[in-house]
Amino acid sequence: MYTVKGKEYPCCTSVTMGIIGGKWKSVILFYLIKEPLRYNELRKKMKDVTERTLSLQLKDLEADGVIQRKVYTTKPPLKVEYSLTDFGKTLIPLLQEMAKWGDYVVKNELETIV
């Protein structure tokens, strides 16, 4: 058993999935690899996610220390930007491999249909 932040996990892969699992967390992280993004920029890239779900997923990722939320208050309007933390950046190779594997699955699925 593994224990992280008071939660128990049966194996090390479940720790990873506990942090980045679900439909939207890995998508959010994938978009943040290249650059910090504002909430509305993420919403535009993720058209099917509801505002509530995106907000909750961002809060979860922030609570796990994977992303950081930076508020700019120097001039109106208020600007909030999300970016990967140093800890979150350690996920980049994993996210890239997941994307590569997803491309592989899509390509092979198309080849089996043809």
Positions of the chain with pLDDT under 70? 110-114
What CATH number is given to the structural domain containing 103? Answer: 1.10.10.10
pLDDT at 111: 65
pLDDT at 88: 97
Q: For residue 5, is it within any domain?
A: no
Count of structural domains within the chain: 1
What pTM does this model have? Answer: 0.86
- The DSSP string of 60-99 is HHHHTTSEEEEEE-SSSSPEEEEEE-HHHHTTHHHHHHHH
Domain residues for 53?
A: 23-113
Q: For residue 29, is it within any domain?
A: yes
